[in-house]
Amino acid sequence: MKKNALVILATIILASHSNAKIKSEYGSIDIFGPTNLDEITQTLQNEPERSGVIVNLFNNTAETFFRAVAEVNPEWVKNIYTIYISDDELVTIPDSIGKLQALYVMTVSSEKLQSISEEIGNIDELTYLTITDSPQFKYLPESLRPKICSEQAFFNLWLDFGVAHFSLNEDGRLVYRVNFINGPGKKRCDDNGECDVKGFYGPFFNPNLNIEKNNETFYNGVIAATRGYEEQQELHQAAQTMLDTEPSHRDEVLQSMPAPIAVALNTDRQEEAIRCIVDNNMIEQEGLKDNCFLDISNNEDVPFSQFIHHNFINQ
């Protein structure tokens, strides 16, 4: 996925804005901080009903905007087509995101973002999702799994390396997975093998930096997949131990674990995948080039009951 033209438009609007806190023109609403709930609510109440609305939120305004949407809920809010958020104070995208039923494109950047409401999965129109420069964000909502992992899905993602991770299948082709609340899922790819992921260190850096990030995202996926399952608590705790261990000591710690756990947490294929990415010069501007030679076969996600065995024990 390349940056959508509407997002580019949002950037142009930002570059030319005046000192106004809230600006509404040309089918776009731009909200700059500092502002408050009353000001945003008044803006929403006074807006005429229209379709194809673009909303740009900056500088500690996103939380207040979503509160206003929840409280005011004017009809035209359902016609917001694009929302662009650049707000380092935003911690969570709340349930009111589900009111934006026409939302097609969402771009989020926040240093504090940790979660997105499951209501986002109820937005049928949502097709483009970008979450970058958000180092604390680790898991997509489970409600997005059908959009991303099902055989019929075609969903455009641009994610940080901390949410996506890679391994090699038996044929030596890259497999791209993303972490959901309940564990990783294999991304549905088109025939071009698009896999937009940001946060890679370029080819002139030590590939071990990318290997460490990839392994840590893999461990986070195991932690999510085993959370709350009593029979998997040993694996859950072992994955947390690996995540907390300094990279230089992980091999030693892994060798001290029981054999089934050591097999499940072995990252040889993950490391081979990153070396393949680096060696084939697939890194471009701290992201991956479009064609990553991905395994696009058998994209249907497996049921959770088969997840541990299918994705860990057999790899």
Query: What domain count does the chain have?
Result: 1
pLDDT tens, N- to C-terminus, the chain (315 residues): 444 444 434 443 333 334 458 887 777 889 987 788 888 888 877 777 777 889 999 989 999 999 989 987 667 788 899 999 999 999 999 999 999 999 999 999 999 999 999 999 999 999 999 999 999 999 999 999 988 887 666 788 888 889 989 888 777 777 888 999 999 988 765 445 455 777 777 666 678 888 999 999 999 999 999 998 888 999 999 999 999 999 999 999 999 999 999 999 999 999 988 888 877 776 665 566 544 444 434 444 444 434 444 444 333
The range of the structural domain enclosing residue 145 comes to 5-313
Please give the structure tokens belonging to residue 14. Answer: 């930002």
CA distance 125 to 102: 6
How far is residue 170 from each of residues 111, 118, 189, 221, measured CA to CA in Å? Answer: 37, 34, 18, 20
CA distance 268 to 126: 36
**pTM listed for this prediction:** 0.82
The stretches of 183-287 forming alpha helices (DSSP H) are: 207-226, 233-244, 250-255, 259-264, 268-279
Closest by CA to 206, choosing from 169, 247, 172, 168, is 247
Closest by CA to 107, choosing from 200, 193, 10, is 10
